[in-house]
Amino acid sequence: ISQNPNKKGLWSWVISASLGDRDTITQSVLDQAHHLGFSDLEVITTVVEKRASFSCKPGITRPALNVGPGLWACGDYIEGPYPSTLEGAVLSGQQVIDQISQS
């Protein structure tokens, strides 16, 4: 969503476990954004991804941070204490930064 064509920058909103069709979801986000003080918003695109995260089942094996010599990976899908969440992605990013700074 772009707030004003004369201003640079984009806003994005993420909804988990959304119900309804694309238009309903888009309107709901616009209503919430307006309630927060955002006005004159232009919708650029609405992406609906039903499989945006993996199924976090007991015993699932997730890849490690260290992929190979001098190569690390980070994200919500990397092994760690959290399921597929923003917190997990941030934590893995911080861990990779720590490993890179120690190498």
Query: Range of 23's domain?
Result: 1-52
Please name which of 30, 35, 103, 9 lies closest in space to residue 65, comparing C-alpha atoms: 103
Indicate whether 44 and 76 sit together in one domain: no
pLDDT band of 20, cuts 50, 70, 90 = confident
Q: Is the dihedral of CA 74, 17, 48, 42 positive or negative?
A: negative
Pair 1, 31 in one domain: yes
Kindly state the tokens that stand for 95: 């861990």
What pLDDT sits at residue 35?
A: 93
In a domain, 11, yes or no: yes
- Cβ-contact 9, 2 below 8 angstroms: yes
In the chain, the percentage of residues whose pLDDT exceeds 70 is 88
41 contacts: CB under 8 Å, gap ≥ 6: 1, 2, 3, 11, 30, 33, 34
List, for residues 27-60, the tens digit of each pLDDT value: 999 999 899 988 888 888 888 877 766 677 788 8
Residue 58 counted as domain residue: no
As beta bridge partners, residue 68 has: 71
pLDDT at 45: 87
Local confidence band at 5 (pLDDT 50, 70, 90 cut-offs): low
Structural domain count, the chain? 2
Band the pLDDT of 76: cuts 50, 70, 90: confident
> How many residues are there in the chain?
103
CA 33 to chain CA mean position, Å: 18
Mean pLDDT, the chain, integer: 84
For residues 47 and 11, membership in a common domain is answered with: yes
